[in-house]
Structure 1
C-alpha cells in the first residue's frame, strides 16, 4: 500500500474511532436524545448528497432496506447504546459485525465457512461476551445489547448490498440518509420529548457534534474508505481497519476516562484475533467445499 493511501486509511479509522467519543459527548454531556441526534445527522447527510439521489438504485425495496439497516439500524442503535455503554466497549462490540456478516452470508447467499473462519467467529463472539458481561451481576450490559443489535443490522445491510446493482458512494449515502432520517425523525417525535429545546440549549456544541458525525464520519470517512476498497484487496483493508477499535479504546481512556481493566483487555484481544482470522482467510466460492 502506498504511504499516502495508508495515511488516508489511518485518517478514516481515526475519524470513525472519534465518532464514538463525539457521539458519547453529544448524548451524555449535551443531553441530546439519541433518536433526534441520529435523525438530524442523516438529514444533513441527505442534504449534502441530494444531487446524487436520483435515479434510484434497483431493486428499490432493497435499497430502502439497506439504507434503513445501515443508517437508522447501524448508527441509531449505537446512539441508544452509548447512553450507558462506554465508547471503548462499544467499539469492541461493533466488531461483531464481521462474524455476523459471515454467518448471514452462509444463510442468505449460500456461502461456506472454512474451519479457520469458524474458529475466528467463535473467538470473536466469546471475546465480545467477556466485554459485554456485567461482572457485578448475572446480566449483560444494557447499552451494549443495543450496540450488538446495531452490529446485526449493519451486517444484514452489508449482505443485502451484495445483491444491489452498481451504486456510487454519494448516491448510496443519499439513500441511506433518506431511508434513515424519516423513520428516525418520526420515532423521535413519538418517543422523545424536549429534543429541540435541548439542542438549542446546547447551541454550537450540538451543531459541531452533529455536523462532524454527518460530514466527517459518514461522508468523508465512508467515501474515502470505498475508494480504498476499490483500489486494494478487501482482506488487506479489513485487516488494517482493526486500528479503529484500538484507537477508540485509546481515545476513550484518555479523553473520557473509560475503565479498561484486565477483563476488557482480554476480551478485546480475543475479539480482534477472531476478526483477524475471519478477514485474512480466503472466502470459498458458493457451492465449493
Structure 2
C-alpha cells in the first residue's frame, strides 16, 4: 500500500473511532434520545445521497431486510448501548462483528475454519467478557450487552447481502438511510420523549455532531474505504482497520475523561488480538462481511 492510501485509511479509521465517542457524548451527555438521533442520522444520509438511489436495485425486498439489520435495528441497539456504556469499551465490543460474521458464515454458508480462526473467535469474546463483567459487583454492563447484540444483528445483514446482487457502497448507504429513518422515527415516538427539547438544547454543537456523522462517517468514511477495497486485498485492509477501536479508546479517554482500567487494557489486548487473527484470514464464503462490519461498527 502506498503512503497516500495508507494516510487515507488512517484518516478513515480516525473518523470512525471519533464517531463512537461523539455519538456517546450526544446520547449520554447532551441527552438526545438515542433512537431519535439514529433516525435523524439516517434521514441525513438519505438526503445527502439522494442521487445514489438510481438506478433502482432489482430486489428491493431483500434490500429492505438488509437495511433493517445493518441500519435501523443495528443502530437503535448500538446507540442505546452507547447511552449506557463508555465509548472506549464500546469501541472494542463493536469489533465482535468479525467473529459473529465468521460464525454466521459457518452456520449458513458452509465456511470452514482452522484452529487459528477458532482461537481468534474465542479470544475476541473472552476479551469483551473481561471488559463487560465487573467481578466486584458481579454485574455486567447492559450497554455492552446492547452493543454485542447490535454486532450480531449486523452480521445477519452480511449473510443477507450474500443473496443480493453486488451494489456500490454509497448506493447501499443511500437505500439503507431511506429505509431506516421512518421506522426509527416511529419507534422513537413510541418509546422516547423530549426529542425536540433535546435538539433545542443541543444547539450548534449537536448540529456539528450530526453533520460529522452524516458527511464525515457515512459519506467520506465509507466512500473512501470502498475505494480502497477496490485497490487492495481485504486481507491487507482488515487488520489495518483495527486502528479504529484504538482511536475510540484514545478519544474516549482524552475527550470524555473515561478511566483507564486494568480490565479495559487487558480485555482490549485479548479481544483485538482475536479480531486480528480473524481479519488476516479472509472469510472465503462471505467476502462482503468486511464492508458490512465497517458500516455497522464504524458507523453509517
Q: TM-score range, shorter-chain basis?
A: over 0.9
Structure 2 residues not aligned, in runs of 5+: 287-300
Tell me the distance in 2 between the aligned counterparts of 1:206 and 1:153: 28
The answer to whether the 8 Å contact 1:52/1:170 transfers is yes
Quickly say closer, same or farther: Cα 1:149–1:227, change in 2 above 3 A: same
Shift of 1:190: 0.8
Partner of 1:99: 99
Could you tell me how far apart the structure 2 residues matched to 1:108 and 1:211 are?
38
Aligned to 1:182: 182
Per-residue CA deviations over 1:240-273 (Å, capped at 9, x if unaligned) read: 0001111110111111111221111111101111
Structure 1 Cα separation of the partners of residues 151 and 282 of structure 2: 22
What is the rounded CA distance, in whole Å, between the counterparts of 1:237 and 1:282 in structure 2? Answer: 10
Q: CA–CA distance in 1 between the matches of 2:200 and 2:282?
A: 50
Partner secondary structure for residue 58 of structure 1: coil
Within 2, Cα distance between the matches of 1:174 and 1:69? 15
Shift of 1:166: 2.1
Question: 2:69–2:154: 8 Å Cα contact kept in structure 1?
Answer: yes
Distance 2:283 2:27 in 1: 39
Moved over 4 A (4+): 282-286
Q: Secondary structure at the match of 2:56?
A: coil
Question: 2:84 aligns to what SS in structure 1?
Answer: coil
Q: Could you tell me which residue of structure 2 aligns to residue 62 of structure 1? A: 62
Aligned to 2:192: 192
Structure 1 residues 61-210: aligned runs within 5 Å: 61-210=61-210
Distance 1:159 1:104 in 2: 7
Could you tell me how far 1:27 is from its partner in structure 2? Answer: 1.1
Deviates more, 1:142-151 or 1:127-136: 127-136
- For these two proteins, the number of residue pairs brought into alignment is 286
**1:26 paired to 2:40:** no
State the shift of 1:282 in Å: 4.7
Seen in structure 2, the aligned counterparts of structure 1 residues 34 and 126 have a Cα distance that, compared at 3 Å, is: same
User: Tell me, which stretches of 5 or more residues in structure 1 are unaligned?
Assistant: none
CA distance in 2, matches of 1:8, 1:158: 25
Secondary structure, counterpart of 1:137 in structure 2: coil
RMSD: 1.5
Q: Secondary structure at the match of 1:179?
A: helix
TM-score by length of 1: 0.95
- Offset of 1:130 from its aligned partner? 0.5
Secondary structure (helix, strand or coil) at the match of 1:231 reads: coil
> 1:284 & 1:242 partners in 2: Cα distance?
20
- Structure 2 CA distance for aligned equivalents of residues 39 and 283 of structure 1: 31
CA contact 1:92–1:271 (8 Å) conserved in 2: yes
In 1: Cα distance, 2:181 partner to 2:192 partner: 15
- TM-score normalised by L of structure 2: 0.92
SS in 1 for 2:83: coil
* Shift, 1:163, TM fit: 2.4
The 3-state SS of whatever aligns with 1:82 is: helix
Is residue 58–residue 164 contact of structure 1 (8 Å, CA) maintained in 2?
A: no
> Does structure 1 conserve the Cα–Cα contact (< 8 Å) formed by 2:124 and 2:272?
yes
**Contact 2:38/2:76 (<8 A) preserved:** yes
Change (3 A) 1:285 1:88: closer
